Amino acid sequence: MDAGLLQAVALIVLGYLIGSLPMGVLVARLTGGRDPRTVGSGRTGGTNALRAMGARRAILVGILDIAKGALPILLAGWLGATDVVAALAGLAALLGAWRSIFLGFSGGRGVAAGCGGMLVVSPAIVVIVVPVFVGVIWWTRYVSLGSLLGIAVGALVSVAFVALGWLAAAWLIYTLFGAALVWYAHRDNIARLLAGTERRLDPRGGPSATPPSN
């Protein structure tokens, strides 16, 4: 096998394995916290970690999830891989975050990992997206809606950046397919949002597993 192709395959597989690391579960086990899979949606990401373990551990989970999204792209860059290979490695990390090989192909939704990847690809896009993400959550108390709209805005901005020559076109592999993957991972949230039964964050800052009454 060609050395370049072998490196590309290795980086993509490694990206998937890094993305598969279930940070919420690991933090729970290492700190004696409650497994996030036992509450809320049963997912392993930051929102369920907040429900299961409180704010401090949830922040740690979020930071680790961001790191696992960034690392495969950084590693590809350090090894001199092309943007296409780096984008595929980052996309593989998102797939792992959603369908972890270590959790029987369950996991989170890939939002924090996607944020980590975008911090490497284009910090400017993250700066644009974060106010949308935070603002929607603050206004509606729906984390899922903030995530979905933030991801969508990020994908649209990435297209604009490519058109303006501010971002290499190869990164659209990551931004567009990554956005599609995260939206697909949220399909149950989308159904609950449409039905009016999605979980909100408590206005006092705590988690709420109870659907709103309206």
Give the tens place of pLDDT for each residue, 115-139: 999 999 999 999 999 999 999 999 9
- How confident is the model at residue 207, as a pLDDT? 47
- pLDDT band of residue 2 (cuts 50, 70, 90) is confident
199 Cβ partners below 8 Å, 6+ apart?
A: 40, 41, 192, 208, 209, 210, 211
The span from the CA of 97 to the CA of 27, in Å, is: 15
The span from the CA of 65 to the CA of 103, in Å, is: 15
Share of the chain above pLDDT 70, in %: 93
Domain ranges of the chain: 3-195
Average pLDDT, the chain: 91
- pLDDT band of residue 210 (cuts 50, 70, 90) is very low
- How confident is the model at residue 206, as a pLDDT? 47
Token pair 């590809």: residue? 76
- pLDDT band of residue 212 (cuts 50, 70, 90) is very low
- How confident is the model at residue 211, as a pLDDT? 39
- pLDDT band of residue 1 (cuts 50, 70, 90) is low
